[in-house]
A = this chain, B = another copy of it.
Amino acid sequence: MRIAVIGGTGKEGRGLARGWAQAGETVIVGSRSLERAQQAAREINAAVGREAASGSTNRGAANAGDIVVLTVPYDAQETTLWDIRDGVRGKVLVTVTVPIDTGNTRRLRVVPGGSAAEEAQTLLGPETHVVAAFQNISHTHLEEAKSIDSDVLVCGDDAEARLDVVRLAALLGLRALDAGPVRNARVVEGLTVVLLEINRRYKSRGAGIRVTWLPDGGNE
């Protein structure tokens, strides 16, 4: 499977891209700058010891990926989506984006469409299956090569697409839970802001969540 990571030179994108490369997948790192994308791909290849990653423009990456993961900051989301929207048509687009108030990262930002994911779904139309995921996984944990004590909540309107993303998370050693329609992404995105608040108050680094009381008891 070819996984395109748009904005893959950022911290979160790079962490995800390297994780999938380590899991044996083919990764295309996308960036506005081809040069920085290629540099990030070289670093990933050096880290995993094989030619798992290549660099491309965002548009080139979206065209080439079987599944496309969007990790750009919220304020760049709309422009980026217009740039890649032909390439993602008919595919699953995973949004990792959280709308953050850049003037005050602790303040919950409410966006016109309810959430970044819902706005992406509206912009791209029903042919593209938008799935929100990975917002609550701090890049600091993706960089550590150990099991990550956080669940991924997966929201999207297409059930099959949600399952695809549950599998993407499993490749990173993460438990992902089907959390229903894309509308629920506003909760999951907002939860990231609440966790940032908790990080600040409790001096934690990358607080996450685990869902408890699932019947399999699988909260390890």
Contacts and interface: CB of A to CB of B under 8 A. Distances in A.
A105 to B, nearest CB: 12
Interface residues of A, number: 42
A161 to B, nearest CB: 15
**Copies of chain A in the complex:** 2
A171 interface: no
Nearest to A190: B187
Q: Is the interface of A mostly helix, strand, loop or mixed?
A: mixed
A79 interface: no
A85 interface: no
Interface stretch (A1-9, A41-49, A194-202): A194-202
Interface stretch (A22-30, A53-61, A123-131, A177-185): A177-185
A213 B150 contact: yes
B215 A204 contact: yes
A179 to B, nearest CB: 5
Contact of A187 (B187, B206, B212): B187
Nearest to A106: B180
State the 3 A-B residue pairs at the shortest beta-carbon distance, nearest first: A187-B190, A180-B197, A149-B212
Interface of A: 106-108, 110, 114, 138, 141, 149-150, 153, 177-180, 183-184, 186-188, 190-191, 193-195, 197-198, 201-215, 219
14 contacts: A106-B180, A149-B213, A150-B213, A177-B202, A179-B194, A184-B193, A184-B197, A186-B190, A187-B187, A195-B211, A198-B214, A203-B215, A207-B213, A207-B214
